[in-house]
Amino acid sequence: IRLFEIGSRFRYSDGEIPALALAMTGASIPQHWSGPERETDLFDLTGVLTQLCDGFGEEIIFEPDTVDHLVPGRTAKIQLKVGDRTITLGILGQLDPEFANARGLTGSAAVFVAELDLRPLTTVAGHNLQATPVPRQPSITRDLSIEIDEALPAAQVRDTIRAAGG
């Protein structure tokens, strides 16, 4: 499961601010269809956030931190390095299992979450942000299409491909 939401966040200390919330849990998406399955971890979430900040051409920094509802040692403050300034964007980490269970998240997989204040991203100078349409066709790493006689055993086709491919 991969969820995100962009919207207004309300806090007594900050008032209403634009924010991004992310949550990830369950099996990770493998780099390639033939890759092994594994559970989502903290590095999957930091990878998403790194990609987001790369889009702004800025460096992201993760500093260890503690938050009551996140697992100690699996929690970090998210900062953005803009020129000679370092701006705090938010927090990320693994949701404490007891906290998650108390709120109805009863699955056995770890839940990783992040929350970012979007105001600093709007002040990064020199960026003209534009939305682009989603491509009609999904991206692919490889595409292989072969036509063979249906009487040919699949094992022979596989072995031929492996021998030719190295």
pLDDT by 10s per residue, the chain, length 166: 899 999 998 988 878 989 999 999 988 877 777 778 889 999 999 999 998 887 776 788 999 999 999 999 999 999 988 778 888 899 999 999 999 889 888 788 899 999 999 888 777 655 555 667 888 887 777 777 888 888 988 888 888 888 988 6
CA-nearest of 138, 115, 94 to 49 is: 115
Give me the pLDDT at residue 45, please: 92
What is the model's pLDDT at position 113? 95
103 token code pair:
């709120």
Phi, psi of 150 (to 5 degrees): -70, -15
List the beta strands (DSSP E) in 12-139.
15-25, 59-64, 70-82, 85-95, 111-117
d(CA 73, CA 138): 37
Sheet arrangement for strand 59-64: 2-11, 15-25, 111-117, 85-95, 70-82, 59-64
